[in-house]
Amino acid sequence: MSDTQIATRRAIRVMVTFALALATAPAHAGLILFNGADDGAGSLATAPNSAASAASFDTAVAGLGTENTITFESSPLGTFSSLTPALGISLTGSNVNGNDQSIVNTTSDINITPPCTNASCGYNTTPGGSKFLLLFGGTATFSFSAGTDAFGAYLTGVQNVGETITFSDGTSQTADIPNSGFDGGTIFVGFTDADKSIASITINVNNDIVGVDDVRYITDPVPEPASLALLGGALAGLALTRRRKDMGLALKPIRM
C-alpha cells in the first residue's frame, strides 16, 4: 500500500469518527429546571415572573428542537379516564377522591368556601382560549409515545407546599412546584433534559385545586441531515478505498 493510500484511509477514518460524534452527541446535556411564581396572580398580565420563566424555557427548547404546545382547546369538556390532547400524547390521572380529572372552561361551579377565583382554583392561560386541565387534587400523567426531553406548563391556583413533577430519565427525578403563596396565583414550571428520552411525566398536586395549561414539549431529536450526509460520504469513501485495494490485489500479476 502506498503512502498516499495510507494517508487517504487515515483521513477517511477521522471523518467517520467525527461524523459519528456529530450524529450521536447531544448539543446540550443535563437536567435544567425553569420556574417562576407570582403570588395572587389571576392572569398572565399580572404574572411577570411566570411569563419570564416560560420565555427562558422557550429559548432553551429552541436550541433542542421544535416546541409543541397543548392548549386543550380541541379537547372535549368534561371528565376523562384517558385523553389524547395531541398526536402521540396520552393523558391520564385521578383526582383526590380517585375519580377522573376533567377539562373545564370555568371553576365558578366548584362548590367550596371561599368560592373559587382564577388565582385560587386556576384559569385558562392560552391567549384567546378558554379551556384548561383542572386537577381536583391527585395526579395527571402525560405519556409520550416517542419520548421527550423537555416539558413545561403553566400551573395556576397552587396554594399548597409539597406538590411535584416526577419522571424518570433513567434515574427517578423530582422537580418541586414552587408555592406561589396562600392566595394562590400563577406558576410556570419546566425542564430540559436533552440527552435523555422520557416516556411519561406526572404532575402531583396532592389535595390542591390546580389548573394546567399551555403544556410545552418536544419529541426526541434525530441526527441532523448534515451529520448524516457527512457520515454517509465518509463511509462511501472508505468502501471505495477498500474496493480499489481489492481490485489491486486481484489484478496483481502472478510471479513464476
Average pLDDT for 189-217: 96
Q: Phi/psi at 16 (nearest 5 deg)?
A: -60, -45
pLDDT > 70: percent of the chain: 74
Grid coordinates in use for 251? Answer: 489484478
pLDDT at 36 over 90: yes
- Between 242 and 80, the more confident residue is 80
pLDDT at 41 over 50: yes
Q: What's the mean pLDDT when you consider all of the chain?
A: 84
pLDDT at residue 180, as a whole number: 74
pLDDT at residue 182, as a whole number: 80
pLDDT at 26 over 60: no
- Which among 6, 144, 9 has a CA at the least distance from the CA of 85? 144
pLDDT classification of 256: cutoffs 50, 70, 90: very low
Q: Where are the domains of the chain?
A: 3-23+224-250, 28-219
Grid coordinates in use for 33? Answer: 429546571
pTM for the structure as a whole: 0.78
Picking from 1-15, 77-91, 106-120, 180-194, which range would have the lowest pLDDT averaged per residue? 1-15
Q: Cα Rg for the chain, rounded, in angstroms?
A: 26
Element (H, E) at 63: none
Q: What is the pLDDT of residues 55-71, one digit of tens each?
A: 999 999 999 999 999 99
CA 184 – CA 204 distance, rounded (Å): 16
Query: First CA to last CA across the chain, in angstroms?
Result: 22
Task: Give how far Cα 96 sits from Cα of 18, 100, 204, Å.
Answer: 53, 9, 10
- Between 16 and 11, the more confident residue is 11
pLDDT at residue 195, as a whole number: 82
Task: Give how far Cα 163 sits from Cα of 1, 128, 155, 178, 207, Å.
Answer: 68, 29, 11, 8, 9
CA 170 – CA 196 distance, rounded (Å): 8
Q: Which CATH class is domain 28-219?
A: mainly beta
